[in-house]
Structure 1
Amino acid sequence: MPADAAAHIRLARPSRDLRAAERFWVSGLGLDVLYRHAADGAPGESSLLMVGWPDAGWHLELVHDPAAPLEPRPTPEDLLVVYLGEPVPDSLVGRLERHGGKRVPAHNPYWDTWGVTLQDPDGYLLVLSHRTWSNA
């Protein structure tokens, strides 16, 4: 199968605390837990949490190696942008904040004009944009 628009995308990143990440992404944003694995102590084995929407062409994989944890190192431009196509509901922002998110000003003011930026428990940024997007 060639790499094309039908290829599924996995975005993987380290997490300090998979429970905190799950609260933010699942209880806060509303993604589903697609898969989880708890490390049983075998050398080199990591715990992981995959979250996403079941019919989406992507999912987010959060990984934690209890024996050799990696510190997340997001930059101000490491963004996951969700294009809502409508105003960002205050209730959604509040729910994300109650589940471990923190509303922050965007590094690039473009995103403050077109949405809301929240920092997840690992420091990565989620932008909820009221714009729409198409690659067509």
Structure 2
Amino acid sequence: MPTGFVLCADDFAITAGVSRSILELLGRGKLSATGAMTSRPHWRGLARELGAFAETADLGLHFNLTCAAPLGAMPRLAPGGELPALGIVARAAVLAPAVRREIAAEFRRQLDAFEEALGRPPDFVDGHQ
């Protein structure tokens, strides 16, 4: 790849198949970065394999507030344990300070999960959707 060119695949850990494909592309040198969803069930089992690419690719946190379950309790934003659609998240974040506090706590949990698994902070942070 030319210098300065970045090809990033988001959604690492969203499913085992997506993650395996990203690992294969990283191994072939076809990707220069990936963002990991540390709140997804496949994260723990695949993080070590992803960590092997720390010297050859940028590994980031793909912060998730809209897909499946959060890592911790979010009684206002996700009272049933499932994260809502993006429009609901955005509206609640604008209108409710308590929701913003829940989002900040969830961000910390997802960041901690990345750092605990890989032993270092992410190279970048972006967001799902």
Which structure's residues are more often helix, by fraction? 2
More strand by share: 1
Q: TM-score, normalised by structure 1?
A: 0.25
